[in-house]
Chain A
Amino acid sequence: MSQKVLLNATEVQIALHRLACQLIENHDTFKDTVLVGIQPRGVFLAERLKTLLQDEYKIKGIQLGYLDITFYRDDFRRSDKPLEANKTQLNFVVENKKVVFIDDVLYTGRSIRSALTAIQDFGRPQDIELLTLIDRRFSRHLPIQPDYRGRQVDAIGDEKVKVYWQENDGEDAVYLVSGE
């Protein structure tokens, strides 16, 4: 197994600041915008961005929810591992809101496809955008692209991108892992 650093702690921090600023450019006061972290790993990124927007950029009243896509996945009974659900928590109305999906890695696009179906059960958003820390280029199975990306990565089939967060994994870093 070999492991290469794609982003270190400082670079993660820089990317987060840039993503926060790009969100502000498009959403101004976030009055009609809701952030939705995709379970399980998108939640850490979403929490970080919310804290950053509140503390560093003084934006008040940011609405953040979590969306679990387990029951909407297209690989039910197709993978050897049973699918385990996580908590969905959307304490706001998404009807006519601008929804920003937040996930750590965009790979095949299938999770986001599921999330697009799942969010409709909570209402009809005005529009939906996608923010992702890592965009794995050339590996999409579906016509889905991010609106905001931290870093674009070329990774081949058996390579994996792993995103670690201080609060969960002990460090902020992104690794490209191969031959696992």
Chain B
Amino acid sequence: MELSVDHLLGIKYIKEADIQLIFETADHFKEVINRPIKKVPSLRDITIANLFFENSTRTRLSFELAEKRLSADVVNFSAASSSVKKGETLIDTVNNILSMKVDMVVMRHPNPGAGVFLSKHVGAKIINAGDGAHEHPTQALLDSYSIRERLGDVAGKKVVIVGDILHSRVALSNIFALKKLGAEVKVCGPKTLMPKHIESLGVVYEPSLIKALNWCDVANMLRVQNERMDISYFPSTREYTQQYGVNKKILSSLDKEIVLMHPGPINRGVEITSDVADSKQAIILDQVQNGVAVRMAVIYLLASKINRGNVAQ
């Protein structure tokens, strides 16, 4: 088995079989990262550039750890300290880096489609680590992987994504991944933060949080992305919390125990209260650990498709 794609640009572009292959491979890497020595030599001859044109802490750290645990050589680049500020184009920036013999690029970029664009113009394998409000495929993969780990399977499970769907690449990638894996998906949040025609993706909009929580097996709480909001989408943070924040009282009013997820960073007390975020129901830290294993799997599977003709050079 190998991946049907040469780049991971979005969940939209991959098949269910690809996702299952990534999960099976991630199972093996999860075992690796729990060993006394958490490192395998597979990618000794691969160099990976992490290009972050937008701020990131955990995704970048997670990718870097994944790369290092596969023994790849890693170079980091952030836009804040680069020639992008001097007016260099994306293709020029990347081609300059690639001419130093880099095999794979992990890129986060504020513009949707930056990864797709790049994959058409440069020779390296591209992994999209978030492009604007478009996709964040590895986050969706690790979210589904965490659901699979906790509940045994994703197919047939009911998942609600709560919060700012409009600005969220995590939401879009999650919807694609969950639907491909056979889950039922609802979205919940203020109407102003719902994209128009969201139903065309095969999901149902549920305006009431309590109804959504009563329906679901898993609730994925998204962060309110103040930095992406050019206008006011809801009257106040306090009102948002009252209507769409999850707390202990709401959870104990349900007749079942649901699984809570959050892609981080958490605004404690806004979308989720501290006691809930730190409870056993929340698998937020499992998501972080699984993130490394899933990213190792993606990098390993893409690296195995790098032309072997390059090996001898």
Partner of B308, one of A77, A84, A86: A77
* Contact partner, A82, options B1, B31, B70, B311, Cβ 8 Å: B1
**Tally of chain A residues near chain B (CB < 8 A):** 20
Q: Are B31 and A72 in contact (CB under 8 A)?
A: no
Specify which of A76, A88, A120 lies most central, judged by the most chain B CB atoms within 10 Å of its CB: A76
Contact B36 A82 (CB under 8 A): no
Q: A71-B42, A85-B25 are in contact. Are A121 and B35 (CB under 8 A)?
A: yes
Q: Tell me whether B304 and A122 are in contact (CB under 8 A).
A: no
Contact in complex: A122, B311 (CB < 8 Å): no
Q: How far is the CA of A66 from the CA of B70 in the complex (A)?
A: 21
A72 engages B40 (CB within 8 Å): yes
User: How many residue pairs between the two chains, A and B, have CB atoms under 8 Å in the bound complex?
Assistant: 48
Complex CA distance for A76 and B301, rounded to whole angstroms: 11
Binding site secondary structure of chain B: loop
Q: Is A104 an interface residue, CB under 8 A from the partner?
A: no
Q: Report B297-313 residues with CB < 8 Å from chain A CB.
A: 300-301, 303-304, 306, 308, 311
Distance, CA A85 to CA B28, complexed state (A): 7
Give chain A residues whose Cβ lies under 8 Å from the Cβ of B303: 77
0/1 interface trace, chain B 189-202, chain A, CB 8 Å (1 if under): 00000000000000
Contact B28 A88 (CB under 8 A): yes
CA distance A121 to B1 in the complex (A): 27
A82 and B297 alpha carbons, distance in the complex (Å):
13
In whole angstroms, what is the CA distance A70 to B300 when docked? 11
Interface string of A81-93 (1 = CB under 8 A from B): 0111111100000
A87-B31, A88-B28, A88-B31 known; A77+B36 contact, CB < 8 A: no
CB distance from A114 to the nearest CB of B (A): 9
> Which chain B residues border A86 with CB–CB below 8 Å?
28
Of B41, B70, B304, most A-chain CB atoms within 10 Å = B41
Within A29-73, the residues touching B (CB, 8 Å) are 68, 70-72
Of chain A, the residue at the smallest CB distance from B309 is A77
Are the C-beta atoms of A83 and B304 separated by less than 8 Å? yes
The one of B37, B42, B306 that contacts A122, using a Cβ cutoff of 8 Å: B37
Considering the complex, which residues of chain B in the window 1-41 have a beta carbon less than 8 Å from any beta carbon of chain A?
1-2, 25, 28, 31-32, 35-37, 39-41
Give the chain B neighbours of A84 by CB distance below 8 A.
1
Per the 8 Å Cβ criterion, residues 272-313 of B in contact with A are: 300-301, 303-304, 306, 308, 311
Docked complex Cα distance between A121 and B300 (Å): 19
Contact of B311 among A71, A78, A83 (CB under 8 A): A78
Q: Is there contact, CB below 8 Å, between A122 and B308?
A: no
Tell whether A78 pairs with B308 under 8 Å between CB atoms, given A122-B35, A122-B36: yes
Which chain B residue lies CB-closest to A86?
A: B28
In the bound complex, residues from chain B placing their C-beta under 8 Å from that of A82 are 1-2, 301, 304
14 contacts between A and B (CB under 8 A): A70-B28, A71-B28, A71-B32, A71-B40, A71-B41, A77-B306, A77-B308, A82-B301, A87-B31, A88-B32, A118-B40, A122-B35, A122-B37, A123-B36
Q: Which residues of A contact B (CB under 8 A)?
A: 68, 70-72, 76-78, 82-88, 117-118, 120-123
